[in-house]
Amino acid sequence: MRFAFAMTMVLAGLAAQNRQPPPVEPAELPADWPQRDLEAKWVAFRRATGDADGDARQKEAWAKAFAAAGELELLEWMAIYEGWRQAGPQHARLDAPALMRVAAWNLDTAD
């Protein structure tokens, strides 16, 4: 009986480890987004996500929102100041003009 219980617990633990987190959806941009200038948009992003060490899933959501809104300059800033991990794939997916510049900038950074 103890063996069956132990095996059940081990298998449940393994199943929990194999679960993938849900996909990240784009963040919802503030209602006044079109009226903001570039710096005000950056401030809204930073306020929502914290510093460069903030929640990676939250930053990925904002990177997706920037890409969907055509905010390529903000994506570039994000890749430079936050690193490649969240903004880089969006640059690559869009084949953004700054793709090579952003990739080169991130070559020697530990991300």
Question: pLDDT tens digits, residue range 76-100?
Answer: 999 988 888 899 999 999 999 999 9
CB-based contacts of 73, cutoff 8 Å, min separation 6: 38
**The pair of three-digit structure tokens given for residue 5, joined into one six-digit string:** 């219980």
Residue written as token pair 């510049």? 101
- Report residue 15's pLDDT band, with 50, 70 and 90 as the boundaries: low
Q: How many CA atoms lie within 13 A of 19 on its CB side?
A: 7
Prediction pTM value: 0.77
CB atoms within 10 A of CB 45: 23
